[in-house]
Amino acid sequence: MVDLIKRAKELIETSTVKVVIGYEQGTANKTRALFVEKAEDADKLMFDSRCVQNLAAYVTKREVKEKGKMAITATLPVMRSIIQLASEFQVNDNNLLVLGITPESKFIEFGNLVEVETFVHQYTIEIDARNKEMLDKLEKMSPAERWKFWIDELTPCFKCYACRAACPMCYCHRCTVDFNQPQWIPVPSHELGNLEWHIMRAIHLTGRCIDCDACYNACPLSIPLNLLTKKMLEDAKEHFGGYQPSLKGGHLMSTYKPDDKENFIQ
């Protein structure tokens, strides 16, 4: 990642950006986010297959944003998140520069978000084989079996909201669960509160989730909550020709076609 480090240094030295968000070696063989504000710190930047945290979660974090223009080390999932965030007016060319890393681990710098979008659009979002298998398995179950599966999986959730915190798309200052007038979702962690929280999370991410698995990776209990958003992704493919983040906006769930097909409305 010599190129990345070199470019990060230049960007800081020339004051093109105030902070470069990247990965550094963490503790116990983990990697973690690094915020480079001084050129000499750029030497700590690194990249390898362990760098799976979706750094796009930081571009909407108040304390990071307040630093000024950002550059972000972006793998394909991060780029997708950035495009989705841009289409929701959370970032733009004036406050964000993308230092891309291709799926082949090559450094690639983008001049603007349109170039990022073009790059991103070369790839479709595909659900990995293991999860695909899990989805198929669940779909073959009876509703009662699925109900049992999800109650079993979701009941251990203690609602730490790590899934929400790690998700780049969960940037709302006040999440639905934080509303108490009305109290949409019960605050305590119990069967009902957990079930409703996870259903709500999934539906709010439908048409926005780029399938980076940040939520699953963040979960301290490894609850397979990403299956919910993966299912929505599959459905989007089935009903609306798939989902691909786009600067043009026109989100899956905020648009419609007069000839959308369904088979359940009487």
250 touching another protein, by CB under 8 A: no
Element (H, E) at 113: helix 113-120
Measured from the CB atom, is 15 or 254 closer to another protein?
254
- Binding residue for another protein, selected from 47, 110, 119, 150, defined by CB under 8 A: 150
One DSSP character per residue, 166-228 reads H-TT---SS-GGG--TT--S-SS-SHHHHHHHHHHHHHHHTTT-----HHHHH-TT---THHH
Q: Which is nearer to another protein, 106 or 248 (CB)?
A: 248
Give the per-residue contact string, 166-185, with another protein (x = CB under 8 A; - = no).
Answer: x-------x-x-x-xx-xxx
Nearer to another protein among residue 113 and residue 223 (C-beta)? 223
220-244 in b/e burial notation, b at 16+ Cβ within 10 A? eeebbbbbbbbbbbbebeeebeebb
Instruction: State the burial class of residue 41 (Cβ atoms within 10 Å of its Cβ: 0-12, 13-18, 19+).
Output: middle
C-alpha span between 12 and 18 (Å, rounded): 6
Closest CA to 82 of 187, 208, 199: 208
Q: How far is the CB of 65 from another protein (least distance, A)?
A: 12
The rounded Cα 79 to chain-centroid distance in angstroms is: 10
User: Of 26 and 88, which CB lies nearer to another protein in the complex structure?
Assistant: 26
Q: How many CA atoms lie within 13 A of 140 on its CB side?
A: 6
Which residues inside 10-29 make contact with another protein, applying CB under 8 A? Answer: 26-28
Within positions 185 to 214, which residues make up the interface with another protein, using CB under 8 A?
185-192, 195-196, 198-200, 202-203, 206-207
Tell whether residue 30 is a contact of another protein (CB under 8 A).
yes
Q: Per CB under 8 A, does 239 bind another protein? A: yes
Query: CA 226, CA 242: separation in Å to the nearest integer?
Result: 18
33 part of the interface to another protein, by CB under 8 A: yes
**Considering CB under 8 A, how many residues would be counted as binding another protein?**
88
Min dist CB 111 to another protein, Å, is 27
- Is 35 a binder of another protein (CB under 8 A)? yes
Identify the residue among 69, 161, 237, 244 touching another protein (CB under 8 A): 161
Q: What are phi and psi of 228, to 5 degrees?
A: -65, -50
Report the 10 Å Cβ neighbour count for 22: 28
Candidates 70-78, 89-97, 107-115, 215-223; binding stretch for another protein (CB under 8 A)? 215-223
Measured between alpha carbons, how far is 28 from 5 in angstroms, rounded to an integer?
Answer: 23
218 binds another protein (CB under 8 A): yes
Q: Segment 57-116, which members bind another protein (CB under 8 A)?
A: 57-58, 61-64
260 part of the interface to another protein, by CB under 8 A: yes
